Protein backbone atom coordinates (compact mmCIF):
# COMPACT_ATOMS: atom_id res chain seq x y z
CA UNK A 1 0.00 0.00 0.00
CA UNK A 2 1.33 3.45 -0.94
CA UNK A 3 0.84 6.17 1.66
CA UNK A 4 0.47 9.78 0.59
CA UNK A 5 2.50 11.88 3.00
CA UNK A 6 0.82 14.84 4.68
CA UNK A 7 1.80 18.41 3.92
CA UNK A 8 4.15 19.83 6.52
CA UNK A 9 4.02 23.34 7.97
CA UNK A 10 7.18 25.31 8.73
CA UNK A 11 9.21 23.60 11.44
CA UNK A 12 7.25 20.32 11.37
CA UNK A 13 9.00 16.98 10.89
CA UNK A 14 7.41 13.81 9.56
CA UNK A 15 8.04 10.91 11.96
CA UNK A 16 6.25 8.04 10.23
CA UNK A 17 2.99 6.14 10.17
CA UNK A 18 1.32 3.93 12.73
CA UNK A 19 -1.10 1.30 11.45
CA UNK A 20 -3.50 -0.21 13.97
CA UNK A 21 -4.56 -3.88 13.97
CA UNK A 22 -7.97 -2.85 12.60
CA UNK A 23 -6.32 -1.30 9.53
CA UNK A 24 -6.82 2.34 10.53
CA UNK A 25 -3.82 4.51 11.08
CA UNK A 26 -2.22 7.91 11.33
CA UNK A 27 0.76 9.78 10.03
CA UNK A 28 2.65 11.25 12.98
CA UNK A 29 4.02 14.76 12.53
CA UNK A 30 6.20 16.34 15.22
CA UNK A 31 5.43 20.00 15.71
CA UNK A 32 8.04 22.71 16.09
CA UNK A 33 9.07 23.72 19.58
CA UNK A 34 9.60 22.16 22.97
CA UNK A 35 8.38 22.86 26.48
CA UNK A 36 10.94 22.50 29.26
CA UNK A 37 10.43 21.63 32.91
CA UNK A 38 6.67 21.24 32.95
CA UNK A 39 4.14 19.31 34.97
CA UNK A 40 1.99 16.87 32.98
CA UNK A 41 -1.22 18.94 33.03
CA UNK A 42 0.68 22.01 31.81
CA UNK A 43 2.33 19.94 29.08
CA UNK A 44 -1.09 18.69 27.89
CA UNK A 45 -2.37 22.29 27.71
CA UNK A 46 0.78 23.51 25.95
CA UNK A 47 0.51 20.80 23.28
CA UNK A 48 -3.10 21.83 22.58
CA UNK A 49 -1.97 25.48 22.25
CA UNK A 50 0.53 24.30 19.61
CA UNK A 51 -2.30 22.70 17.60
CA UNK A 52 -1.48 19.13 18.60
CA UNK A 53 -1.28 16.67 21.47
CA UNK A 54 1.37 14.99 23.52
CA UNK A 55 2.36 11.74 21.78
CA UNK A 56 1.09 8.38 22.98
CA UNK A 57 3.58 5.79 24.22
CA UNK A 58 3.52 4.05 20.83
CA UNK A 59 4.10 7.37 19.08
CA UNK A 60 6.98 8.15 21.46
CA UNK A 61 8.59 4.81 20.56
CA UNK A 62 8.34 5.84 16.89
CA UNK A 63 9.85 9.26 17.68
CA UNK A 64 12.69 7.61 19.60
CA UNK A 65 13.38 5.26 16.67
CA UNK A 66 13.15 7.83 13.88
CA UNK A 67 13.90 11.24 15.41
CA UNK A 68 15.93 10.60 18.55
CA UNK A 69 18.52 13.17 17.47
CA UNK A 70 15.83 15.89 17.59
CA UNK A 71 15.39 15.43 21.34
CA UNK A 72 17.51 16.32 24.33
CA UNK A 73 18.76 13.34 26.34
CA UNK A 74 15.95 13.89 28.85
CA UNK A 75 12.52 12.57 29.75
CA UNK A 76 9.41 13.66 27.83
CA UNK A 77 5.78 13.34 28.87
CA UNK A 78 3.41 11.11 26.92
CA UNK A 79 -0.33 11.73 26.66
CA UNK A 80 -1.10 8.60 28.66
CA UNK A 81 -2.06 8.59 32.31
CA UNK A 82 -1.11 5.48 34.27
CA UNK A 83 -4.13 3.12 34.37
CA UNK A 84 -3.97 2.30 38.07
CA UNK A 85 -2.44 5.51 39.47
CA UNK A 86 -4.21 8.77 38.61
CA UNK A 87 -1.27 10.75 40.06
CA UNK A 88 1.13 9.30 37.46
CA UNK A 89 1.60 9.48 33.69
CA UNK A 90 3.94 7.71 31.29
CA UNK A 91 7.12 9.21 29.84
CA UNK A 92 9.85 8.32 27.35
CA UNK A 93 13.52 8.81 28.19
CA UNK A 94 15.27 9.97 25.01
CA UNK A 95 18.70 8.76 26.10
CA UNK A 96 18.04 5.21 27.26
CA UNK A 97 14.78 4.58 25.39
CA UNK A 98 13.02 3.53 28.59
CA UNK A 99 9.33 4.17 29.09
CA UNK A 100 7.93 4.28 32.60
CA UNK A 101 5.50 6.25 34.70
CA UNK A 102 6.19 9.10 37.08
CA UNK A 103 4.30 11.65 39.16
CA UNK A 104 2.42 14.22 37.08
CA UNK A 105 3.69 17.00 39.35
CA UNK A 106 7.31 16.32 38.38
CA UNK A 107 8.96 18.62 35.83
CA UNK A 108 9.70 16.92 32.49
CA UNK A 109 10.03 18.03 28.87
CA UNK A 110 7.27 17.98 26.24
CA UNK A 111 7.00 17.83 22.46
CA UNK A 112 3.72 17.99 20.55
CA UNK A 113 2.57 15.92 17.59
CA UNK A 114 -0.34 16.08 15.22
CA UNK A 115 -2.01 13.09 13.64
CA UNK A 116 -3.18 12.89 10.05
CA UNK A 117 -5.53 10.03 9.23
CA UNK A 118 -4.36 7.60 6.60
**In CATH, what number is assigned to the domain containing residue 64?**
3.10.100.10
Does the residue 69 lie in any domain? yes
Mean pLDDT across 100-104 = 96
Query: What proportion of the chain, given as a percentage, has pLDDT over 90?
Result: 93
Range of the domain at 41: 34-111
Does the residue 13 lie in any domain? no
Does the residue 94 lie in any domain? yes
Does the residue 17 lie in any domain? no
63, 111 contact by CB (below 8 A): yes
Does the residue 6 lie in any domain? no
Does the residue 23 lie in any domain? no
In degrees and rounded to multiples of 5, residue 66 shows phi and psi of -100, -30
> Alpha carbon of 109 to those of 23, 25, 31, 39: distances in Å?
32, 26, 14, 9
Does the residue 81 lie in any domain? yes
Q: Is 0.85 surpassed by the pTM of this model? A: yes
Mean pLDDT across 50-72 = 97
Q: Domains in the chain: how many in total?
A: 1
Amino acid sequence: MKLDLPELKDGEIYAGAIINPDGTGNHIVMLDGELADSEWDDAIAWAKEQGGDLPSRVEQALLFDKLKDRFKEKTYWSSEQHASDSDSAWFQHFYTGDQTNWYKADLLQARAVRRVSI
